[in-house]
Structure 1
Amino acid sequence: MSVARQLLIVQTVALAVVVLVAGGLFAVEERRDADAATRLAVTDVAATTAQIPAVAADIVGPDPVGALQPVASAIRAATGVDFVVVMGLDEIRLTHPRPDRIGLPYTGHTEPARQGRTFTETYTGSLGPSIRAVAPVYEDTGALVGFVSVGVTRQKSWEQFRDSLPGLLGIVAIGLAVSTAGAVLVSRRLRTQTLGLSPDQLRRLYEQHDAVLRAIGDGLLVFGTSGGDGPRVDVINDEARRLLGLPADGPVSMGSLPETVRALAEDGDDARDEVHLTADRVLVVGRDAVRWEGRRIGTVVTLRDHTELRSVLGELDSVRGLAESLQAQAHESANRLHTIITMVELGRPDEAVAFATEELRLSQQLVDRVTATVADPALAALLIGKVDAAAERGVELTVTDDTALAAVPLRSRDLVTVVGNLVDNAIDAVSGTEDAWVEVTVRQERSTVVIEVADSGPGMDPDTLARSMTRGYSTKSDHHGLGLALVAQTITRRGGTLRTEPSLGSLVVAEIPFGGAP
């Protein structure tokens, strides 16, 4: 049986027992209250009868039976009691509901009444078990002349209690019906929440769920909804904790997640292979809405780590750029060689030597200047290669004369990532425009590396730069649009800054301190 059905049965049985026990206790209490009311009633009738002056006079009168029997019958009829027995000090009945019992000894106790006290007792007399009260009767002179016993049989008390049982049973039935209805509603609610599964099914489902979460290679987060409080993290596996730098155990709050991941919990379209950046990782993200009975109840997010892959792709792009530059240089060198050979064949060797010398001088000057002032060979090669790559796209790339960088404790990969992406973005921004140019400066100021990339394009305002530093933002259509986000990630990891400054064109300035995190 499902959890809901089991709970319904247990609740129904428990509530039935509780209601029936409560009803039984109420019945016992009702019977006790009825007996107490009967004792009070017979005491009042006995005491009132004993205080009637005629009763005391008739007890010692010439015809006590003839005088008192009508009075006792009238009192019994008026009050609803079962018997009113008047007796003398000898305890011989002078009145009785059954005339044949008159003149016989009274069956019961009178000792407390002889001492002047009205009392009650439960006693089995001539009419059966009864609740009775006995009161002393005094003359005007204060002399004790007899007793009055007034009682109600237990049979009549039971009949009165029995007459009240339908109401009591009705209350019990109503209570049982209300409690059963409540149990049914709770059962339906639980059935909805547990999808009608049994405890064994729920246990197996949890075990399988936990095993899958631990075995899955991708990071997994499940965001649920909690009304006006916004989304919450319902499920997160170990891989997601590792990728997001979260504690290995314990609950995870929305505030502890990176902003780019928190945004995934908001309502939105399903997504595949979105690139998101955290402080130190590049994540490929998928998002799917979870729906139940036509309404959205949460969001499932998968995370794959592409940090190393993106780094390798960046390096591959740099190598590809250098290879394309070398290919262009080889093509250009072939053209120049053919030109020189032709000039020699035409009998103009002096002009051929001058042409070759000038080309070599300009190229060698750039190589010599960059390699002499930039200690990092990878960065120097990147700057030299980007000059030819820019030229192939009709862009004049200049490495400024104040470019100088001694050996600093920064990884070549980080320098190449920052400089290469900034230069690529600048070339892309001005490529195809008239008089396109890009200027690059890399220098050292105290314990900080300053990288400045200017171009002839319109530039970016601070808001555009801020958006470009977030996940996947790009003004371009290809995957290189991740460049500024990767730059921002590298600079942020090392505690640096990235900003734009006003100039004749566009100017982006990156500052990386030596003491930043590796």
Structure 2
Amino acid sequence: MIDQKFEDTGDKALALANAVAGMPEIIQAMGEPDPSSVIQPLAERLRVKSKAEFIVVTNMSLIRFSHPNPSNIGKPLDGEDAQNDQKVLNGEEIRSIAIGSLGHTVRGKTPIYGADHRQIGLVSVGFLVQNIWNQMYTLLLKIVLIGAAALIFGLGGAYLLSGHIKKQIFNMEPHEIAFKTQEQAAILDSIHEGIIAVNSEGKITTCNREAKKIMGIEGVEVNGREINSILPTSRLLDVLKEGVIHKDIPMLIGDTLIITNRVPVYAMEQIIGAVATFRDKLQLDQIDQRLADIGQYADSLRSQRHEFMNRLHLISGLIEMKEYEMVRELIEEVNEEQRNLLNFFLTRIHDSAIVGVLIGKLHRAKELGIALVIDADSSLPDPCPHREIIVTILGNAIENSLEAISGTNMTTPSAITVGFHDESDRLHISVHDTGPGIDPSLGAAIFEDGVTTKGAGRGFGLALLTRLVTNIGGDLSMECSPSGTMLKTSLPK
């Protein structure tokens, strides 16, 4: 702004010099015997009106015909700007800053041409630099005052705004917000449930690692994208619109069946977003199955305890009756039974987890009056492949057979036969019972989620087995006949 002010003053000085040089009175007076008598009064009037420091008119010899100090009229220019004066005498227009008899000035100089277009002199107009600075000081003072007022107003506004913002962020400092953000991200990525959150516009604001894993988009940045472009079946937009909570809803994501919960997020009684949490139903079914197996093991132990308590009571009674030979025979019978069972398992089935399941089921079947037989030709490789899956298969299949047989009034002897057949590249498992069988109308649908004849909340065991076996490249099938039902499983080794 200062540079512009000096440049404008120089332009003003030069424009005024051009105006004076072009005045007919000045040109005509330059040829008269006493030019200053005409030029001096005229130049002074213009100087006063324009607030210039000086307007000096000279001839080609640089003799002054006008000057603010009349005593300098008739005297030559004092040579303080001689170089520029010579350029003007050569026909150039000059703007300069120089120190003269009147002080430090911004000058504009231009030649004067006569009627015959010959140069007959020059005009020099100057404005004091000090006057320019005085004008700038006034302007700068205004700027400083306005700036100070704006600063004070801005500080007051910033104080009020910061207080308002801190209320919204619960008076937390930036480092506390950063810590909370990192903590939340760590928590979201450490839990085993998928979580997706959207804002009121349906754009994703949060999507944790487990959610990306289930959706098959690991490593993809989804924040800020429309939920329908990532998961069209999420129904989070319906939750945003209706504000209704969805609990334990099954949903299919790709080839994965999940159980999801969807809830709206409220702030100031307005829906500002929605959150969906979901988990692979296969994992939930595995947890349910393990819990069920634990319950079955407890029942088996209880049954075994009752059986041995009964035998102890029998032995106690025989001892009271002094029937020592019968006591000996009974103990040998029990011992032989246990020895034969353990010898079979140790030689044919080496895995302790599978042996534990079978022993538990043997006692449970005995309590129910059902014969559970392990095929004498059965064998399992050591170590046993897919142990967890085999345990789940045996627990589910044998329990289904026990329920099917115990829930009927069959007069014929009932039995369950379990077989293991080890081949070079496959392991075959079969569970055959002499129960009433399964309704043929169900067909292959018996392996689907929720399909059952046992009532609501059942029908997930076979569906779970199907997914477990299929995921490792195995086969699962069921054969029904008047003589019972057989579940066959073939697993790759």
Counting only pairs closer than 5 Å after superposition, residues 492-507 of structure 1 correspond to structure 2 as 495-498=473-476
Counting only pairs closer than 5 Å after superposition, residues 105-116 of structure 1 correspond to structure 2 as 105-106=76-77, 108-109=80-81, 110-116=85-91
- Secondary structure of residue in 2 paired with 1:41: helix
Q: Retained in 1: the 8 A contact 2:380–2:422? A: no
Alignment CA distance shift 1:55-1:198 (3 Å): same
| Residue 513 of structure 1: aligned partner | 491
What's the offset of the Cα at 1:505?
A: 11
Please tell me whether residue 229 in structure 1 is matched to residue 227 in structure 2: no
| Residue 158 of structure 1: aligned partner | 133
Q: Retained in 2: the 8 A contact 1:291–1:298? A: no
| Residue 9 of structure 1: aligned partner | none
CA distance in 2, matches of 1:186, 1:463: 64
| Residue 26 of structure 2: aligned partner | 55
Alignment CA distance shift 1:147-1:476 (3 Å): same
CA distance in 1, matches of 2:196, 2:428: 45
Amino acid at match of 2:18: A
What's the offset of the Cα at 1:57?
A: 3.0
| Residue 405 of structure 1: aligned partner | 378
Alignment CA distance shift 1:64-1:475 (3 Å): farther
Q: Of residues 96, 114, 121 in structure 2, which corresponds to 1:146?
A: 121
CA distance in 2, matches of 1:312, 1:458: 26
Deviations 1:105-124 (A, max 9, x none): 54542232233322122233
Please tell me whether residue 35 in structure 1 is matched to residue 12 in structure 2: no
Alignment CA distance shift 1:443-1:52 (3 Å): same
Listed as ranges, the gaps of 5+ residues in structure 2 are: 217-235, 240-244, 249-262, 319-332
Alignment CA distance shift 1:199-1:489 (3 Å): same
Amino acid at match of 1:313: I
CA distance in 1, matches of 2:2, 2:76: 31
Q: Of residues 387, 400, 410 in structure 2, which corresponds to 1:425?
A: 400
| Residue 304 of structure 2: aligned partner | 323
What's the offset of the Cα at 1:416?
A: 5.1
Q: Under a length normalisation based on structure 1, what TM-score does the superposition of the two structures give?
A: 0.54
Deviates more, 1:72-81 or 1:150-159: 72-81
| Residue 212 of structure 2: aligned partner | 255
| Residue 327 of structure 2: aligned partner | none
Q: Which has the higher contact order (CA 8 A, sep 6+)?
A: 1
CA distance in 1, matches of 2:122, 2:215: 96
Q: Under a length normalisation based on structure 2, what TM-score does the superposition of the two structures give?
A: 0.56
Q: Retained in 1: the 8 A contact 2:438–2:485? A: no
Q: Retained in 2: the 8 A contact 1:226–1:232? A: no
Amino acid at match of 2:294: L
- Secondary structure of residue in 1 paired with 2:39: helix
Q: Retained in 2: the 8 A contact 1:430–1:457? A: no
- Secondary structure of residue in 2 paired with 1:131: strand
Deviates more, 1:124-133 or 1:404-413: 404-413
What's the offset of the Cα at 1:324?
A: 6.7
State the percentage of identical aligned residues.
18
Alignment CA distance shift 1:269-1:143 (3 Å): closer
Counting only pairs closer than 5 Å after superposition, residues 78-89 of structure 1 correspond to structure 2 as 79=50, 81-89=52-60
What's the offset of the Cα at 1:319?
A: 4.1
Please tell me whether residue 134 in structure 1 is matched to residue 109 in structure 2: yes
Amino acid at match of 2:86: E
Counting only pairs closer than 5 Å after superposition, residues 161-172 of structure 1 correspond to structure 2 as 161-162=136-137, 164-165=139-140, 168-169=143-144, 172=147
Aligned length, in residue pairs: 400
CA distance in 2, matches of 1:137, 1:112: 13
What's the offset of the Cα at 1:458?
A: 5.5
Alignment CA distance shift 1:258-1:154 (3 Å): closer
Deviations 1:217-274 (A, max 9, x none): x9788968464226433xxxxxxxxxxxxxxxxxx45323699xxxxxx997999xxx
What's the offset of the Cα at 1:32?
A: 0.6
CA distance in 2, matches of 1:433, 1:116: 129
Q: Retained in 2: the 8 A contact 1:83–1:151? A: yes
Alignment CA distance shift 1:170-1:139 (3 Å): same
Q: Retained in 2: the 8 A contact 1:423–1:440? A: no
| Residue 430 of structure 2: aligned partner | 451
Listed as ranges, the gaps of 5+ residues in structure 1 are: 1-29, 234-251, 260-265, 272-287, 338-359
Amino acid at match of 2:88: A
